[in-house]
Amino acid sequence: MPELPEVETIRRDLAKAIINKKIVDIVIGKKKLIKNSLKTFSRDLYHHKITQINRVGKLLIFALDNKKYLLIHLKMTGQLIYQHCQTIVAGGHNYPPLGLCLPNQYSHIIFTFADHSQLFFNDQRQFGYLNTVNHRQLQTIVNEYGIEPLAKNFTLASLTKALANKKTVIKTTLLNQKNIAGIGNIYADEICHEAKIKPQRTTNKLTATEIKKLFLSANKIIKYAIKYRGTTFSDYVDSQGAKGNYSQHLKVYGREGKICLSCHQAKIKKIKIAGRGTHYCPHCQK
């Protein structure tokens, strides 16, 4: 699933490509991907310009010139691909590969702009969604999200408060978007490893020192993942030839059975936590 770094990367890339472009056509192939009525969805978007692209957690927020907002969540296998002549900006899940002709069988929603460029919402498993909302509705949705690494409200004090009295294991706590926004399976494993904390530890048993390590680790991992354009769409190349390559920096995720890159002693173990594959080093993490 695309996580905060991947979604932030596509947000930045799309902002350079589609700001102030007017939507002149919308093709909806899968109605179930639209959360509000098709009539409302179309009315809110047709002949309106995208003025800004923001994000909260893994949710993309496209501000429109009619004071409405288009929300797009990629969920597990969603992709956003912008195409204009030879220019392609893409992000999201790494399948189907970018080389597949557009539109293809996974192109369920297609936006066409006044200059004939297009934005494709692809989703192999169809868990993603699109929705249009007004400002009040947007605020209600945003308020449901927890604090977010690198944001101003992500402080040691706010993290300590978010983790207080949580009896779930730390991996599950990190994945809960109401606690901390934007962290998914990959970065939860990497953050726990960086903090030297086993992901199966109970959250309310963490010491103040360990919470501080989590705080520093979350900021460090997310910052570098954004710098290297994320992990899950490393196959994609944008119009400048840049591509995601944080996968080369992963210390535990996807490295089951391999020697830990930190201690060079133990092999990375993989266990299940709440049905999610979880990687950690039994020597480094306590």
pTM score of the predicted model: 0.94
Q: Is 3 a catalytic residue?
A: yes
pLDDT at res. 241: 46
Please give the Cα distance from 253 to 198 (Å, whole number): 13
Q: Is 58 a catalytic residue?
A: yes
Domain co-membership, 263 together with 134: no
Residue 142 is given by DSSP the state H
Going across the sheet that includes 129-133, the strands are 50-56, 59-64, 69-73, 129-133
Q: Is 243 a catalytic residue?
A: no
Domain co-membership, 127 together with 160: no
Distance from the Cα of residue 64 to its chain's centroid: 22
The radius of gyration computed from the CA coordinates of the chain, to the nearest angstrom, equals 20
pLDDT at res. 227: 92
Number of domains in the chain: 2
Answer whether residue 148 is part of any domain: no
Residues belonging to the chain: 286
Answer whether residue 285 is part of any domain: no
Q: Are 222 and 182 in contact (CB under 8 A)?
A: yes
Domain co-membership, 38 together with 101: yes
Domain co-membership, 91 together with 214: no
Q: Please write the tens of the pLDDT for every residue from 90-109.
A: 888 877 776 678 999 999 99
Residue range(s) defining the domain that contains residue 193: 156-280
Domain co-membership, 136 together with 59: yes
pLDDT above 70 covers a percentage of the chain that reads: 95
Residue 8: what are its φ and ψ, rounded to 5°? -65, -35
pLDDT at res. 244: 59
Distance from the Cα of residue 203 to its chain's centroid: 23
End-to-end CA distance of the chain: 27
Residue 210: what are its φ and ψ, rounded to 5°? -70, -35
Lookup result for tokens 């109970």: 202
Answer whether residue 150 is part of any domain: no
Does a cis peptide bond (omega within 30 degrees of 0) precede residue 2? no
pLDDT at res. 242: 56
Domain co-membership, 264 together with 224: yes
Q: Is 2 a catalytic residue?
A: yes
58, 68, 229, 251: which one is catalytic?
Answer: 58
Answer whether residue 81 is part of any domain: yes
pLDDT at res. 1: 77
49, 270, 276, 282: which one is catalytic?
Answer: 276
Does a cis peptide bond (omega within 30 degrees of 0) precede residue 282? no
Answer whether residue 69 is part of any domain: yes
DSSP-based three-state secondary structure for 86: coil
pLDDT at res. 232: 63
Q: Are 251 and 261 in contact (CB under 8 A)?
A: yes
Kindly report the CA angle at 90 between 5 and 252, in degrees rounded to 5? 35
Domain co-membership, 19 together with 135: yes
Q: Are 280 and 263 in contact (CB under 8 A)?
A: no
Q: Are 211 and 159 in contact (CB under 8 A)?
A: yes
Beta-bridge partner residues of 78: 123
pLDDT at res. 99: 65
With a cut of 50, which residues of the chain have pLDDT below it?
234, 236-241
Please give the Cα distance from 115 to 243 (Å, whole number): 26
Lookup result for tokens 């103040």: 208
Please give the Cα distance from 176 to 276 (Å, whole number): 13
Beta-bridge partner residues of 280: 269
